Each structure stands twice: as C-alpha cells, then as structure tokens.
C-alpha cells in the first residue's frame, strides 16, 4: 500500500479544514493580545514610562506569536491553492494594508527609544497603534466579506477572475464584523495587560476591557441577527463527491437567506461554538470588572467560540462566490492532491508541537509582571 493511502482523501481534506481553523484561532489567541495591546497603547499609558511598560509586555513575544499567521498563510498556499489565489489576489490592497501595518510594529519597537525626543517617541507610538488597530479591523472586514460571498468566478479552464474593488469590501455588514474583531482583540489585550502589569496601566486596561467585552457580545449577536435575516448564505444542491478531483465547477450551488444556519439546525450540539463566544466574553467582562489575572482564559475562549462559529456555519464552504455560486470553493473541491495533503500533514505533525513547546518555554521564562523598576534596572535590554 502507498503510504499516503493510509488516510482517505476525504478524511485528509477534513483534517486540513480543521487545521486551518486551528492555525487561525492560534493566531487570534496569541498575536491577538499583541494587536489588542497595540490598539490600547494611547489610552492606557499616559507617560513615557507607562508606555514603555505596555510595550515591554508584548515586545519579547510578538515574533513567536506571529508565527501562527505565517503558518496559516503557508497552510492556505499548500493545502488550498485556489483559496490562496483568490484571497491573496482579490484582497490585494487589504493584504497590503495589513502587512504594511504589521511592519510598523517591529520597526516601532526597535526605533522608538533611539532618540530622546518626545515628538520622535510619539510618532512611533502612533505607528504601534496603527500596527494594532488596522490589522484587527481589516481581518474582521475580510471575514464579513467571506460570509457574504466574494465577487470572483472561474471559467471553464478554472482560471480565476476577481471582479470586486477595495472599497466594495467596506460594506456595512463587513464593517460590523471589523468592529467586532477590534472589540474582541481589545478585550483580549486588556486581559493581557491586567495579567502582565499593575497600578494605573492595569486599572485603565481593566476599564477599557470591560467596555470591549460588552461591545463584543453586542456586536457578535448583532452580526448573527443580520446574517440570519439579511445576508444570503450558500447551499450545495448537487451530489457531493468527497474524494473526487478538485474542480469547483463540478457542483451546483444556490444562495439562500439563512443558509449559514443549516449546520446548526442539523447538528444542534454545534451551537456550543456561539455559546462559547458569548460565555467567554461574559466571563471576560466579569473577570476584568473584578481585576482577575486569569481573565485572559475567558477572552481566549470567546475568540475560539467566535471564530469557530464562522467556520462551522460555512462548512463545507471555505470561500463562496457572490457572482457565480457554482465557482464557490469548498473543502471537497478546492484542495491540493491526496499526496500533497498527506506530506504536509506529516510536516505539520512534526513542527506544530515544536512551535507549541518553544512558545510555552518562552512564556514560562518571561512569566511575571512588567514593572517600572525592572525596566530602569535593565534599560539595555528593555524596549
């Protein structure tokens, strides 16, 4: 027996759908508090030392956290080539804004303290805020557009034609999803600052986090209601070939209002995903209100629930087409070959545990609060 045939093609496709979700959630949970902390920087820190304290809570760990984003992009490229082609070309300007904003973060960390100038430092503080806020917003806007369907089509040769515009992405529902993303990550960043700081910074973070947690719940419920009542979902109406060659045009699809809730109706236990989203945010609200350091576990649960809600609702779709539903990409018809998925699974099974172990070790070494005295005593090593 050929080695890759140890796992069925349809099972490998399903495994990679789960892994893609794991990588996205891993990025949102780990780098999410970096983005949230950057967004909070101008609001929770009122002087230079307080800003240095905030920056030093994420400065040593952001690079490792961003590994999950790189892994997610690599997984899309290797496991779902059509998804990579459509999303990275169709969302080109949005991706450019995200990357440009993320580039500001390491540059801001490195250059902020190179000159003893308030104007100089204020400029880099603004850059760090942009590096947190803009990606948080655009990631949510992208998810909102995916739920509505992306304006692309495939011709008979499976060539991809994207017919949307950048400003077309900024529609009302997508902006609601963008604001939900910002609120969710600000909540997570607040929980991180409560864990890693003390004094006025932690107190201000706690207050902003309480507001962000309430906003997360309200916007999550609002987005769900709009999705149910006013946004068309997609449903496959033909026979699904789970082990056939990847050809999105070999199916028929219809757009129907409320179709994104069909999986929940068929499998009610999947409602645990949105429940986790709301319960986690409610737990973060209570934990932040009480000033509990373990609140970050609740905010992480909320992130897991919110992202899982989207993935479960859309399954088996991974990128629906709003102008030609038949061209929509699904788990069963947009993947790489059987052999490629198997080889990538072996590689992933080796490297993800290594990354998790290394990341765990780093957090253990850096455990504890960032204090003013430590920054002054270790000025050569602190940001």
Q: Return the pLDDT at 118.
A: 83
Q: Return the pLDDT at 73.
A: 84
Q: Return the pLDDT at 360.
A: 85
Residues 6+ apart with CB under 8 A from 70: none
State the residue for tokens 């490229």.
Answer: 77
Q: Return the pLDDT at 367.
A: 84
**Pairing of the two strands 317-319 and 160-162:** unpaired
Q: How many CB atoms lie within 10 A of CB 31?
A: 25
Residue 45 has, within 13 A of its CA and on its CB side, a CA count of: 26
Q: Return the pLDDT at 169.
A: 86
> DSSP alpha helices (H): ranges in 45-171?
48-58, 62-79, 81-90, 92-111, 118-148
Q: Return the pLDDT at 293.
A: 85
Q: ∠ CA 217-211-221 to the nearest 5 degrees?
A: 15
Q: Return the pLDDT at 62.
A: 82
3-state secondary structure (DSSP) of residue 57: helix
Q: Return the pLDDT at 379.
A: 54
Note the pLDDT tens digit of each residue in 66-88: 888 888 888 888 899 998 888 88
**Which segments of the chain have a pLDDT < 70?**
1-5, 378-382
Q: Return the pLDDT at 383.
A: 73
Cross-strand pairs, 154:
160
Q: Return the pLDDT at 175.
A: 96
Sorted by where each begins, the domain ranges of the chain are 3-377
> Which token pair is 219?
């916007």
Q: Does a cis peptide bond (omega within 30 degrees of 0) precede residue 205? A: no
Q: Return the pLDDT at 5.
A: 67
Q: Return the pLDDT at 142.
A: 93
Q: Return the pLDDT at 133.
A: 96
Q: Return the pLDDT at 4.
A: 58
């Amino acid at each position: 027996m050929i080695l890759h045939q140890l796992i069925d093609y349809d099972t490998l496709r399903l495994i990679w759908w789960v892994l893609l979700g794991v990588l996205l959630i891993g990025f949102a949970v780990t780098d999410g508090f970096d983005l949230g902390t950057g967004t909070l920087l101008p609001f929770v820190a009122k002087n230079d030392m307080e800003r240095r304290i905030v920056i030093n809570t994420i400065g040593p760990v952001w690079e490792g956290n961003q590994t999950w984003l790189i892994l997610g992009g690599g997984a899309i490229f290797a496991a779902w080539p059509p998804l990579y082609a459509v999303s990275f070309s169709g969302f080109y300007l949005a991706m450019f804004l995200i990357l440009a904003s993320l580039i500001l973060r390491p540059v801001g960390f490195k250059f902020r303290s190179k000159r003893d100038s308030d104007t100089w430092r204020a400029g880099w503080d603004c850059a760090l805020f942009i590096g947190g806020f803009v990606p948080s917003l655009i990631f949510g806007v992208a998810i909102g557009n995916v739920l509505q369907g992306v304006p692309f089509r495939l011709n008979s040769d499976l060539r991809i034609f994207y017919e949307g515009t950048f400003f077309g992405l900024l529609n009302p529902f997508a902006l609601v999803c963008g604001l939900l993303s910002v609120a969710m990550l600000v909540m997570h960043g607040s929980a991180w600052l409560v864990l890693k700081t003390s004094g006025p910074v932690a107190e201000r973070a706690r207050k902003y986090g309480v507001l962000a947690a309430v906003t997360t719940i309200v916007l999550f419920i609002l987005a769900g209601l709009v999705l149910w009542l006013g946004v068309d979902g997609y449903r496959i109406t033909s026979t699904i070939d789970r082990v056939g060659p990847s050809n999105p045009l070999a199916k028929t699809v219809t757009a129907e209002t409320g179709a994104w809730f069909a999986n929940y109706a068929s499998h009610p236990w999947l409602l645990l995903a949105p429940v986790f989203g709301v319960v986690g945010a409610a737990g973060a609200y209570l934990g932040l209100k009480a000033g509990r350091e373990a609140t970050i576990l609740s905010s992480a649960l909320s992130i897991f629930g919110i992202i899982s809600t989207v993935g479960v609702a859309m399954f088996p779709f991974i990128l629906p087409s709003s102008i030609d539903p038949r061209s929509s990409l699904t788990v069963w018809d947009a993947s790489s070959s059987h052999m490629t998925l198997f080889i990538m699974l072996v590689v992933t099974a080796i490297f993800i545990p290594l990354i998790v172990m290394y990341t765990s070790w780093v957090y253990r070494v850096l455990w504890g609060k960032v204090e003013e005295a430590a920054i002054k005593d270790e000025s050569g090593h602190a940001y």
